[in-house]
A and B are shown apart, each in its own frame.
Chain A
Amino acid sequence: GQNIDQPTEMTATEGAIVQINCTYQTSGFNGLFWYQQHAGEAPTFLSYNVLDGLEEKGRFSSFLSRSKGYSYLLLKELQMKDSASYLCAVRGRASGGSYIPTFGRGTSLIVHP
């Protein structure tokens, strides 16, 4: 099976930097995704990592260490609109043999002025 852990809630100040961690256990690792989900809306894709290292995309960066089963999402220059839930998803081998993402419960980020 697969297990994904991320903090339930984090708070940060506008303009600051925040790091959201995700640890996972999976069989047949085949990629890690980060999604952003605003309240009442569908998740939107932020980043994808399959090799170790840092992927940077504007204010958002995502890091992966496969040997440690660890990833983080780094948000810089926080804005109020960044208040949302951030979902970590790991793709591993499902019981049927296909590779399917499993989602963590999400980290609710609250950005205050």
Chain B
Amino acid sequence: SQTIHQWPATLVQPVGSPLSLECTVEGTSNPNLYWYRQAAGRGLQLLFYSVGIGQISSEVPQNLSASRPQDRQFILSSKKLLLSDSGFYLCAWSDKRGGTDTQYFGPGTRLTVL
């Protein structure tokens, strides 16, 4: 069966510091991968998605970036965090070979920028 991991689970960072969040998927190959952010009381905002290694599409311009160095690894980064970057960051995967392309979410990282 497939599993998706994210770490760290929680993170408190000062404004202006760098960020690196990691997501890995097991039990599948060549998945679609996604990064979402959920601010308090808000919906899920798609940040980046990737259909393959080295292929990144950005949905919202901001101070974040994403990379996919390996087939089942997706990394979210920032060089300098802003207060507005606080939120619940969720990684998701989907099987592009399946008919529904349903997304399955990791446990999330709760980021607080102070």
Which A positions have Cβ atoms within 8 angstroms of B?
31, 33, 40-45, 48, 50, 87, 89, 91, 94-96, 98-106
When the two chains form their complex, are residues A31 and B105 in contact, meaning their CB atoms are under 8 A apart?
A: no
Q: Which single member of A44, A45, A98, A104 contacts B49 (CB below 8 Å)?
A: A98
Q: Which of A31, A33, A42 contacts B107, CB < 8 Å?
A: A42
Q: Which residue of A lies closest to B44 (CB)?
A: A103
Residues of A within 8 A of B46 (CB): 100-103
Chain B contributes a number of interface residues (CB within 8 A of A) equal to 20
Q: Does B51 contact A (CB under 8 A)?
A: yes
Residues of A with C-beta under 8 A to B51? 98
**Interface contacts beyond A91-B101, A100-B59, A103-B36: sample of 7 additional A-B pairs, CB < 8 Å, sorted by A:** A41-B107, A42-B90, A48-B100, A89-B103, A98-B57, A99-B101, A100-B49
| A40 neighbours in B (Cβ, 8 Å) | 110
Verify B103–A101 contact, CB threshold 8 A: yes
> Which 10 A-B residue pairings sit nearest by Cβ, starting from the closest?
A105-B43, A103-B44, A42-B105, A48-B100, A103-B43, A42-B108, A96-B57, A43-B105, A42-B107, A45-B102
B interface SS class: strand
Provide the bound-state CA to CA distance between A39 and B5, in Å: 19
Cα-based distance from A93 to B106 in the complex (angstroms):
24
Q: State whether the Cβ of B7 lies closer than 8 Å to any Cβ in chain A.
A: no
Q: Which of B77-114 contact A (CB under 8 A)?
A: 90, 100-108, 110
What are 16 contact pairs spanning A and B, CB under 8 A? A33-B103, A40-B110, A41-B108, A42-B106, A43-B44, A45-B103, A48-B102, A87-B43, A89-B103, A94-B59, A95-B59, A100-B46, A101-B46, A101-B103, A103-B46, A105-B43
Closest to B45 in A: A103
CA distance A102 to B103 in the complex (A): 12
Whole-angstrom distance between the alpha carbons of A104 and B46 in the complex? 12
